[in-house]
Structure 1
Amino acid sequence: MVPPQAQISQKMRFTVPVSLFFVGGFWAIVLLSCAAGLTSGTRFFYTPLAFVVGVVLFVRFPAAYLVHLWWLWFLTPFVRRVVDFKSGWTEFSPIMLAPYVVSLLMIVTVIRFLPRLSQRDMFPFVPIIVALAMAYPVGMMNAGFSPATFDALNWFLPVIMGIHIAFSWRSYDKLKIATERTFLMGAAVLGIYGIHQFFFLAPWDAFWMQVVQMDSIGRPAPMEVRIFGTLNSPGPYANMLAVALLIVLGAKGRLPFLAGMPAVVALLLSLVRAAWVGFAAGLLIMIAKMDMSKRAKLIAAVLLTLVTALPLLSVEAINKTVTTRIESMFGDEAKDDQSYKDRVHFFQTFIEDALSNPIGQGIGATGVATKISNNGKMGEHGVVDSGLLEVPFVLGWLGGILYLSGVAMLVRGTFKRRWSKGDGFVTVAESVALSILVQMIFTNMLTGFIGTMFWSFIGFSIAAERHWAAASRSQPEVQPR
C-alpha cells in the first residue's frame, strides 16, 4: 500500500519554510549587498555567514542543510566573480571556501557512525578512506602542506557527503524531496543564466575570463564563449545540468518540464562532449532499469522536453554553435579535432608518469591545488585529461587499487538492491552516479563539485535501501513509490 501523499507533505511541512527563511535569507543578504555595492564586505562575511547558517541547519533541519549546501556549490563561483569585478581581483578568494567549510560539518556524522562503516553496505568506503589517508602525507612531502590540505578537501569531502547521506537514511524521504526540488530549481536558474550568458555576456564573466586566460572556453564576447553559467568552467556546469536533466526526467509534475527546457539548451551550449556522453549513458541506464510502463513514460518525457526546447534550439546562433560541435565527434572531423589530438598526445606521454611511481605523487599534485605552490599559476599537472590515470598518479599503485576497488564495490551494490527497486528516485540516483563514472576516461569526476554529485547519489542509493528495508519490517504492506 502506497503511503498517502499527505504523509509525505507532512514530512516536508517544516523543510520548505525553513529553507526559505534560512537559505533564502542568506542569499537575499548576499545578493542585496552585492547590488548595493558592498562587495568588499561580502568577500569577508560570505563564508562565515554560510557556515553559521550551515551549523543551524545541520543540527536542526537536515534536509534544509542539504539545500543550503547544494546552492553554495551552484552559486559561490558567481558571487566570487561579481565581488572580484567590483572590488578587485584576488587569486585566492575566501568566498570559494564556503561550500568546503559547510561540508566539513558532515565529518560529525562520520565520527559518530565510524564503527558502523564495518557494515556490509558501508564497508566499501573503508578502502577509499584508507587510500586517501595514505596519499595525504605523501602529498604534503611532495607538494607542500597548503596544496595537499586544500586538495584533500576536494578528495575527502565528496566521499564524506556520500557517507553522511547513507547514514541519514531515517530522513531519506525529506532528503530525497529536498534534493530533487533543489536540482529542478537549479536546472531552471543555471540554465537560464547560461543562455543569457551566451547572448549577453555579463561584465563580471568577461572580466573573469580575461583574468584567468582560459582560452579553451572561447573569447570573452557574446556568442563566442562556451558557457559556464554560475560555475567556473563549462565542465562542472555541464555535468550539473546533465544530472539535473536526469532528475527532471524521473520527476513528476509540470515544473520538471519547465526546468528541462533551458537546461537542455544550456547543456548543449556548454559544448562539453563528455557531459553529453555521460547524460546519454545515464539515460540508457534509466531506461534499462525501468519496467515497460515506466520506460514508455520516460521516453515520452524525453520527447516532450526536447519539443519544449526546440524554439530555443532553432535560433541560428545556438543551432550553428551546437551543430559544429556535434559534427566534431564523428568521422574524419573527430580525428582532425584539436581537442582529440591533444587528448591522444596526453595519453601517450602521461601514462608512464601515472604508472611509474608505486606510492604516487600524493594529494595536491594535480588540479587547482598546483596554483598554491606555483605562484598562482597552474602547475605542470594542473590539468589531467584522464581520471583513470590521475587516480594512480596521485594515490600510487596500492592506493589506486584500494580506491578503485571501493568505488567498484559501491557501484556493484547499486545493481543488487532488493527493497528499493520500485523507488523511482533510486533509479535516477544510480543513473546519475554511473553517468558521472563513465566520464572518468576524460577527467577525474570523483573529486570537487562533480565528485560531490557522484558520492551523494551513491549515498542516496544506500539510504533508500535501508529506508525501505526498515519500512518493510515495520509495515510489510509498504512498498517503494
Structure 2
Amino acid sequence: MNRLVKQSEAKTFQPQTKIFNQLFQPAGAWISILAFCLLTVLMIALGGFGSRILNFLFPLGALIVGWLLYFRYPILYNGFVWWLFFITPFIRRISDWRIGAFTDPKSSYIMLAPFIACIICAHTIHLKLFKTRDKYSSIFILAISAVLYSYFIGMVYRGFLPSTISLLEWIAPLLFGYHLAINWQRYPMYAENIKRVFLWGGLVMGVYGVYQFMIAPEWDRLWMIGSGMTSSGGSPVPFGMRIWSTMNSQGPFADYIVTCLLILLSSRGALVIPAAGFTAFSLLLTLVRVAWIGWILAMLSLLTSLTPKQKFRLLAAVVIMAIILIPLINMEPFSTVIFSRLETLTNLQNDGSGQARQGTYAAILENITTNFLGDGLGALEGDSALIVIVNLGWIGGIPYVGSLIFGTLLVLMEPNKNDDLMIPVIRGILIKSFIFLLSSITIKGAHGMLMWGFLGLGLAGIHYYRDYHLHQFLMLKSRDKLPIS
C-alpha cells in the first residue's frame, strides 16, 4: 500500500521543469535570449539602416526565440513574453530615434513582437483541449470563441489585415492565460518565475521612469510629439512629463507598475526594497489616479485575506515605502506635480479627462443597446470598457464578459488553505485590473495580459492546492486503513 501511495504521489507531483538559481542557466535558453538581445543592439547601433531592418527582424526573432523556449524551457518562455511587453515599446522608440523620424503605428511591426510570441500558446489548445478534462478551461475557451466570432465579423466589414492585427491584441492574453491555467501542475514554478521577472522588471522600469522624468531623453520626446501624447502626457521637457518609462503610455505603465508593487510583497531578497522604492515613486510620477486607487483597494483586499503574520509583513512593507517616499514627494519639483494631481481626486468638477470620459460613455451607450451582432474586431478603439459590446456585440460580449467575471469570482472566493502569499496577491491584481476598467480597456493588449494572465495563474494555483489537499487526504485515509503490525 505504501508503495502505491508513493507511486501515486510521484506521478501526481512529478516536476515538469526546473528553476535554476545560477545566473544564465540553463545555458541553451540563455544563449538564444542573449543572441536575440545582441542582434537587437547591433541593428540599433547601425543607425537608420539597421533600425529599418529591425522593424521586421525583431518580431521574427521574438517568434523564433519564443518557439524554442516554449517547447524546451517553458518556464523561461513565460518570463520572455513578459519582458517583451516590458521593453518592446522602448525598443521601438530607440529605433525611431535612430531613423530620425516618428514611425506611423500602422507600419511599426516591432510592436507586434510580444503578441506574436504569445500566439505560440495556441499550441497548448491543440495539445490539451481534447486530452485534458479541466473544468477551468471552459472559461478561456468561451472567451476565445467570442473573440473568433467577432474576428470573422470584422473580416467581413474591414478586411483581413486590420481584423487580424486587432485579433492579436484580443486573443494573445486569452491564449497566455489558458496556457498558465491548464498547466496547473507547474504553478509553483510559474509563481517563482513571475516573482523574479516582476522584481527585475519593476526595478528596471522604475529606475528608467525616474530618469525619464528628470532628463526627458530625445527618443522619448520624439515619441511624445509624434504620437500626440503632449495633450495628455505633459510637456516634452525635463520635469514636465507624466512618465510612461519603457512602455507605450502612462496607462499601461501604471497598470504594470502597480502589479510589480503587489508582487514584490510576496518576494524576498536584497533587491526588493530598492525595487519597491523606485516602482512606487515612478507610480506617483505617472499621475494616473485610477492606478493609485487600484493599488489602495488591492492592498485592502490583501488585509482581509492574510494571516496575522502576513498582515504584519504587509504593514511593515508599507511603512518602509512611506519612509522612502515621503521625503522625495515633498521635494520640488516632485511635490508640485504630485500634489496638484492629488487635488483633482476631490475636485471632479474641474476634471477634464473625467468629463471627456463621461461624454465617451454616453456616445457609446446610444449605439450598443441594439447592437446584437457586433461590428467586429477593430470597429472601435478607445479607453471605454463598453467597446466590448461594440466589437463583439451582445452575442459575443455576454460569453466573453461572463467568462471573465465567473473566473475572477472563483479566484476571489477561494478560501485560503495555505501560506502561499501569491494567491492573495493575484486577487489584489485582479481587483486592480477591474478598477482600471474605469479608465482603460484592460481586457486586451498589454493591459489584458495582466487581467487574463493572472486569472490563469490564479486558477492554476487553486487547482494545484485543491489537488494537493485531496492527495494529502487520500494519503491519510489510506494510512488509516493499513493493518497495524
**Is this a same-fold pair by TM over 0.5?**
yes
Of residues 325, 328, 341 in structure 1, which corresponds to 2:355?
A: 341
Choose from 41, 56, 71 the match for 2:83. Answer: 71
Which runs of structure 1 show a deviation greater than 6 angstroms over 4 or more consecutive aligned residues? Answer: 7-10
Q: Aligned pair count?
A: 453
3-state SS of 1:365 partner = coil
Task: Give the corresponding residue for 2:384.
Answer: 386
Cα deviation code 1:417-465 (max 9, x no counterpart)? 3686532111111211221022223221110011001111111111112
User: Are the structure 2 counterparts of residues 11 and 100 from structure 1 closer, same or farther at C-alpha, using a change threshold of 3 Å?
Assistant: closer
- Quick check: 1:217–1:226 contact (8 Å CA) kept in 2? yes
Structure 2 unaligned segments of length 5 or more: list them: 1-14, 476-485
2:482 aligns to what? none
Partner of 2:5: none
- 2:447 partner amino acid: I
Q: Deviations over 1:209-253 (max 9, x none)?
A: 121112211221112211111111100011110100011122223
Deviations 1:97-140 (CA, angstroms, capped at 9, x unpaired): 11111111100001111136763222222321222122111212
- State the distance in 2 between where 1:430 and 1:28 align: 37
Q: Deviations over 1:87-106 (max 9, x none)?
A: 24432212111111111110
Alignment of 1:29-68 (within 5 A): 29-35=39-45, 37=47, 38-68=50-80
Find the aligned partners of 2:417 and 2:56 in 1 and give their Cα distance.
44
Residue number in structure 2 paired with 1:163: 178
Counterpart among 141, 144, 152 of residue 159 in structure 2: 144
- For 1:8 and 1:146, the matched residues in 2 are separated by 38
Partner of 1:176: 191
Mapped partners of 1:131, 1:39: distance in 2:
37
Could you say if the C-alpha distance between residues 20 and 313 of structure 1 is closer, same or farther in structure 2, counting changes exceeding 3 Å? farther
| SS across alignment from 1:324 | helix
> Could you report, residue by residue, the CA deviation over 1:131-174 in whole angstroms, capped at 9, with x for unpaired residues?
21221112122333222111111111101110001122222222
State how far apart, in whole Å, the 2-side matches of 1:135 and 1:305 are.
45
Instruction: Sort the Cα spacing of 1:187 and 1:8 in 2 relative to 1 into closer, same or farther, 3 A.
Output: farther
State the SS of the aligned residue for 1:44: helix
Task: Give 2:299's match in structure 1, choosing from 271, 283, 302.
Answer: 283
Shift of residue 477, structure 1, vs aligned partner:
11
Distance in 2, matches of 1:359 and 1:459, equals 28
| Aligned pair partner of 1:227 in 224, 238, 243 | 243
Comparing 217-226 with 102-111, which one deviates more in the overlay?
217-226
Q: How large is the Cα RMSD of the aligned pairs?
A: 2.4
Query: What's 1:83 paired with?
Result: 95
Cα contact 2:166–2:378 (8 A) shared by 1: yes
Match of 1:434 in 2: 431
Say if 1:25 and 1:219 are closer, same or farther in 2 by CA, change over 3 A.
same
Equivalent residue number for residue 453 of structure 1: 450
Residue equivalent to 1:322: 338
Pick the aligned partner of 1:364 from 370, 378, 387. Answer: 378
Q: CA separation in 1, counterparts of 2:131 and 2:378?
A: 30
Please tell me whether the aligned partners of residues 138 and 362 of structure 1 are also in contact (alpha carbons under 8 angstroms).
yes
The range that moved more, 180-189 or 336-345, is: 336-345
Correspondence for 2:479: none
Matched-pair identity in %: 29
Letter in 2 for 1:124: I
What residue ranges of structure 1 are gaps of 5+ in the alignment?
A: 1-6, 368-382
Larger Rg: 2
Name the counterpart of 2:319: 303
